Each structure stands twice: as C-alpha cells, then as structure tokens.
Structure 1
Amino acid sequence: MTARAWSLFALMSVLWGIPYLMIKVAVEGISPSGVVFARCALGAALLLPFALRQGGLARVLRTHWRPMAAFACTEIIVPWWTLTDAERRLSSSTAGLLIAAVPILGVALARLFGERERLGARRLTGLGLGLAGVAVLTAPHLTVADARSLAEVLVTIVGYAVAPLIVARHLKPVPTLQLIAPCLTLAAVVYAPAALLDRPATAPGAAVWASLAGLGVICTAVAFVGFLELIREAGPTRAVVFTYVNPAVAVAAGVAFLDEPLTAGVLAAFALILLGSVLATATAGRRRGSTVAASGPLGSGGAPAVAASGTPPVTAPAAPRSPRSEDVDRHGG
C-alpha cells in the first residue's frame, strides 16, 4: 500500500475503536435515545448535502426504500440504541470486544441469506475460537444484573451481521452516500421524540457534549468520508482489514481513560475473538459491508458503525466512480 493508504489505515484503526469510549461517556449524561439522536442528526446534517449533490436521490429512495428501511433498522435504529443502553452497565472495553464477534456471526448468517460458499476446516475452527472468546468474555457477566446488557449486545451483534447481507443482496446499485445519509436521517427522525421526552433535567457536562460531537462528526460523518478515501487508495478488501485492530483500541481506550480493568480474561478473549475472526473470514476476504459482517459500523460502536477519518474537512466524494454500498463496512459502534 502507499504511504497515504498506511496513514489512513492507522488513523482508521484508532478512530473506529473509540466510539465505545465516547458512548460510555455520553450515556452518563444523556439518555440512550438522546445519544443516538444526536449522533444520527449530526451525521445526517453533514452527509445529506453531499448525497443530494450527487443527484438522483429521489429515484434511489423510490426504487429501494424497502431494503433501505430494513438496513436502517438493522444497522442503526435498533443496534445503536441497544449498544448505547448496554454501555450504561457494561464497560466500553467489554462492549468493544463483544462486537468484534460480528464477522463470526456474519459468516454463519450468510448461509441463511443464500450464500453457498463452503465452510472449510479453517473457517469452522475460526467460528469455534471466536465463540470461545465470547464465552470467556461473557462468563464474568452471567448475572441477573448483566443479563439485559448481554442480551442488548447480542441484538446489536445480530443487527450488525444482518445489515451488510441486506446491502449485498438488495442494495448493491445504491451509492454509499445515498444509502447512509437517508438512513441516518430516518434514524434521527425516529429518535427525536424520545430524545426530547428523555432530555436531562440539568445540562450535561463538557465531556458529554464533546463525546456527542465526536460520535456524530468524527465517528459518523467525517469518518465515513475517510473510509471512502481508504477504499479508493487501498481497495475494498484491504480497506476493511484495519477493523481487526479496533477491539484492541476499544480496550486500550477504556483502560487509559476510564480506568477499566485489563484482566487475563479480557486478553484471552481478545486473542480468541481476533484469531477466530481472521480464520472465519479468511476465505471470503471481506467483512461487514459485503456478504460478511464487520464495525460498525457502519458502525461500529462502532459501526458504526460508520467508519472514521481524521482531520480533513468533509468533502463530497464526487469521483466519477463513486464507491458502491457493498464497499461499506459499520461499524463500529
């Protein structure tokens, strides 16, 4: 890869791992609905003008509104809320590591969506190792108090795994900006009433506002443009490899900024999930954003779900060959 591609790769590795930290901070002062609304509203406000500038958005909506609505529900509307609510009780590092199991579930769910790719011994071994890592990570949380949080993270993982399969099957012709911007707009509209009703009685602190701004601007809007630039520079297959680094960043951020414990169980779970993800997705060579999921997110906590970029201003990706929606990964959180 070029020096520019490596720079983008390194930047994305960091910025797609920090949404879990930002969510953890934001949810201390704002309701989960408020966090999701702010993130989606900021992202939509920045991306929608460029989606409109590309032209043809109305035609895209008329033609693909059903799968786009399904994608919005499985990628943003449901999983962003469940992940945010879960982080009121789970540590950000635990959430980040659990979401790393998305590609493993994506491999399994792909077969339900018509994928007939053979699961060889390597991929089956990867599935087993990844599930073992999830078991190691969740074992300390198998209590009544944590049951809801674990269930919410499971819902998030399923959503992140299903969403790219919808894209691969029904939304390949849709340019990425014209997919993401309307979905963020829809999510913002859905959560606006709840965000208003659940607004805090007192003004949140500066750290909460900074986290909301970071989630909406960096991890959802600017991030997305940066990911498109990485796709152009390195190609869609290489561009998503950095997502294997995100769980380590999520753990490191939680330990460094929130004093979350770095235990032997966390390290073992990270090693098992990382190795399992690499093996389980090795044949396909793809993660979420094609037929195998990844963080996201669009991310990613990441979604993300949506990818992350760095300091360059948001500019419309107006190249003649606009990256298509099958090139997108979420992630994150």
Structure 2
Amino acid sequence: MTARGWALFAAMSVIWGIPYLLIKVAVDEVSVPVLVFTRSAIGAVLLLPMALSRQARTLLRRHWKAVAGFAFFEMIAAWLLLSDAERHLTSSLTGLLIAAAPIIAAVLDRLTGGERLGPLRMAGLGIGLAGVAVLAGPGLSAGGAWPVIEVLLTATCYAIAPLIAARYLADVPGPALTSACLGLAALMYLTPAALTWPRHVLTPHAYLAIGTLAALCTALAFVVFFALIREVGATRALLFTYVNPAVALVAGVLVLREPLTWLHISGLVLILTGSVLASRVGAQKPSGVSSEDVADEEPTGDVDVG
C-alpha cells in the first residue's frame, strides 16, 4: 500500500470511528430528530455539487425504489435508533456493539441466496455472537434492554443496506447515491425536527459535535472513502471497518472518561475475530463482473457510518 493509501486508510479509521462520541455529546442538548435532520441536511448540501450530472439523476430515478430502501436502512432508521440508544448507553459500548454488523450481514446474505457459510464462517458467527453477549451484559445493566436492542437493530440496518446497494445500485455513482439518500432523510425528519427544535442556546461543544458529524463524518467521509477505493481497491479499503470499533472505544474512554473494562476488551476481540471469519468471501468473483463494478459496488455496500 502506498503512503497515500495508508493516509486515506488512517483517515477513514478515525472518521468513521468517532461518530459515536459526537452523537453522545449532541443528544445531551438536542432531540434525536434534530440531530438526524441537521446531519442529513448539511451532508446532502455539501455533496450536492458531486451529484448533479444528468447521468446520475437518470440512474437515481431509474432505481428510486432501491434508493429509498437504502436510505431507510442506512440513514433514516439506523440514525434514529443509534442516536436514541446513545441517550442511555456509552459511546464506546455503542461502537463495540455496532461491530456486529458484518456478522449479521453474513447471515442475511446466506438467507437471501448468497454465498454458503462454510465451517470457518460458521465458527466466526459463533465467536462474534459470543462477543455481542459479553458486551450486552454491561449494556443491559447500565441502560436497560431497549437501548441495547436499538443498537443491534442499527447493526441489522447496516447489514441490510449493503445487500440492497450491491444487488440493485451497483451502477449508481457513490456521491450521487449518498447525496440523494441524505436529502431524503432530511425531508423525512424536517417536521419532527421543527417540532422539537431547541429553544435554548446550545453549548459550543454541541455545535462542534453536530457540525463535525455532518461535515466530517458524513460528507467528507464519503469523498475520502471513494478516494481510498480508487487508491487501494475495494477489498483492502473495507479493512478499516475492523479498526473503527477500537477507535470508538478509545475516543469514549479518553474524551468522555467512559469506563474501560476487561469485558469491553474481550468483547471487542471476539466480535472482530468473528467478523473477520464470518465475512470472508470466496476468491472467485461472479462472472461478468469487472473490477470496476466491484469498486462501484462495495463502497455503497458495507458502510458503517455511525
């Protein structure tokens, strides 16, 4: 990997590892609909210049049902559940539980006619689920069952969205898809956000968290992500998703002084080990699929933005 590739890889590891920290800060001062709306609206506006081509608009109209489905699972439902859960759970625990998404994705892919799960991948599922169980215990004690369920439902949303993108949206440019989905999410949350808009002046920390989440972790993140794909290829690029949970853990502990226990570390190791094994894919690519198709397909697939 080149120096530029490593720099982009490190950037993505951090950019999509800190949203959990930022969400935790923001939901202390604004409602969940306000947070989801501002994140979506700002991100959509910033990415709009990259999604104005006639070809992109044509493809979005042609696949509008899949675009709506992707937006629902990747942003509209996922960000609502995630932000609400973080009103009760620590950001570090949330980031660790979200790491179960690749495991859930492997199961859903198999159930919907995807690649068969061999013994190694089945073992990965078991190991990963054991890690989720290790982490869910402290979560249930700290915030109750529903916030933990919300995070696991978010991980399920992040697992479903890749299947939609890979099977129906492979020919849609990433920035155009992202901008359209963010715009749709902003429209969905416009009224709830207006009804719950804060009447008090926010602290600088809240403004910084919301602005960083929208501009850095949403808009810029996708630009860097696609640059990383072009630099190192889709397969290597997606390896950063295994670093994000560790970044979320470290950020929560250092910035918010959240507790760090052996259960956190053990759960992280188990989930990441299980994810690596469960998400292994065969060396053979489907016939008729070029490397460019794969590069277009995977970025809009296994995307966990928090």
C-alpha offsets along residues 178-226 of structure 1, whole Å, 9 cap, x if unaligned? 2111110000011011111111221110000001111100000111100
C-alpha offsets along residues 65-120 of structure 1, whole Å, 9 cap, x if unaligned? 011101110110001010000000000000000000000000000022221x2212
Show the counterpart of 1:207.
Answer: 205
- What amino acid does structure 2 have at the position aligned with 1:102? A
Change (3 A) 1:73 1:48: same
- Distance, in Å, in 1 between the alignment partners of 2:222 and 2:239 is 16
1:81 and 2:54 aligned: no
Q: Is the 8 A contact 1:113 1:165 kept in 2?
A: no
Q: Is the 8 A contact 1:175 1:323 kept in 2?
A: no
Q: Which has the higher contact order (CA 8 A, sep 6+)?
A: 2
Q: Which has the higher helix share?
A: 2
What's the CA shift for 1:322?
A: 12
C-alpha offsets along residues 250-303 of structure 1, whole Å, 9 cap, x if unaligned? 000000000100001101000100111111112358xxxxxxxxxxxxxxxxxx
Q: Is the 8 A contact 1:176 1:323 kept in 2?
A: no
Q: Is the 8 A contact 2:60 2:172 kept in 1?
A: no
181-190 vs 57-66, greater mean Cα deviation: 57-66
Change (3 A) 1:144 1:213: closer
Show the counterpart of 2:29.
Answer: 29
- Distance, in Å, in 1 between the alignment partners of 2:140 and 2:229 is 40
Backbone CA RMSD of aligned residues: 1.8
Show the counterpart of 1:94.
Answer: 93
What's the CA shift for 1:122?
A: 1.2
Q: Structure 2 regions of 5+ residues with no counterpart?
A: 284-291
Show the counterpart of 2:221.
Answer: 223
Q: Is the 8 A contact 2:51 2:57 kept in 1?
A: no
Show the counterpart of 2:296.
Answer: 324
Runs of 4+ in 1 over 3 A off after TM superposition: 320-323
Q: Structure 1 regions of 5+ residues with no counterpart?
A: 286-319
Q: Is the 8 A contact 1:129 1:272 kept in 2?
A: yes
- Distance, in Å, in 2 between the alignment partners of 1:250 and 1:242 is 13
The number of equivalent residue pairs is 297
1:55 and 2:27 aligned: no
117-126 vs 206-215, greater mean Cα deviation: 117-126
Q: Is the 8 A contact 1:231 1:239 kept in 2?
A: yes
1:180 and 2:153 aligned: no
Show the counterpart of 1:12.
Answer: 12
Q: Is the 8 A contact 2:233 2:295 kept in 1?
A: no
Q: Is the 8 A contact 1:24 1:87 kept in 2?
A: yes
275-284 vs 43-52, greater mean Cα deviation: 275-284
- Distance, in Å, in 2 between the alignment partners of 1:92 and 1:184 is 23
Q: Is the 8 A contact 2:48 2:179 kept in 1?
A: yes
Show the counterpart of 2:281.
Answer: 283
Identity of aligned residues (%): 52
Change (3 A) 1:63 1:217: same
Residues 238-317 of structure 1: pairs in structure 2 closer than 5 A: 238-284=236-282
TM-score, structure 2 as length reference: 0.93
Change (3 A) 1:170 1:321: closer
What's the CA shift for 1:18?
A: 0.3
TM-score, structure 1 as length reference: 0.86
Show the counterpart of 1:104.
Answer: 103
